[in-house]
Amino acid sequence: MESFLRLHRRVACFDQVLVAMGGSLVALAIRLYVGWQFFKSGLVKISDWGATLSLFRDEYQVPLLPPELAAVMGAGGELFFPVLLLLGLFSRPAAIGLFVVNLMAVVSYPQLFMFECPAAVNDHAFWGALLLILVAYGPGKASVDAWLEARIRT
Q: Three-state DSSP class for 60?
A: coil
In this predicted structure, what is the pLDDT of residue 55?
A: 92
CA distances to 52, 54, 61, 68, 101 from 58, in Å: 10, 6, 8, 11, 19
- pLDDT tens sequence across 63-76: 889 999 999 999 99
Per-residue pLDDT at 4 exceeds 90: no
Per-residue pLDDT at 96 exceeds 90: yes
Report the C-alpha gap between 106 and 110 in whole angstroms: 7
Residues 6 or more apart whose CB falls under 8 angstroms from that of 133 comprise 27, 30
Q: Where are the domains of the chain?
A: 24-153
In this predicted structure, what is the pLDDT of residue 115?
A: 67
In this predicted structure, what is the pLDDT of residue 146?
A: 92
Q: What's the predicted TM-score (pTM) here?
A: 0.83
Higher pLDDT, 129 or 107: 129
Contact 102, 127 (CB under 8 A): yes
Q: Which long-range contacts (CB under 8 A, 24 or more apart) does 78-83 make?
A: 78/38, 78/39, 78/41, 78/42, 78/45, 79/39, 79/42, 79/43, 79/46, 81/35, 81/38, 82/34, 82/35, 82/36, 82/38, 82/39, 82/42, 83/35, 83/39
- pLDDT tens sequence across 10-69: 877 776 776 666 678 889 999 999 999 999 999 999 999 999 999 999 988 888 899 999
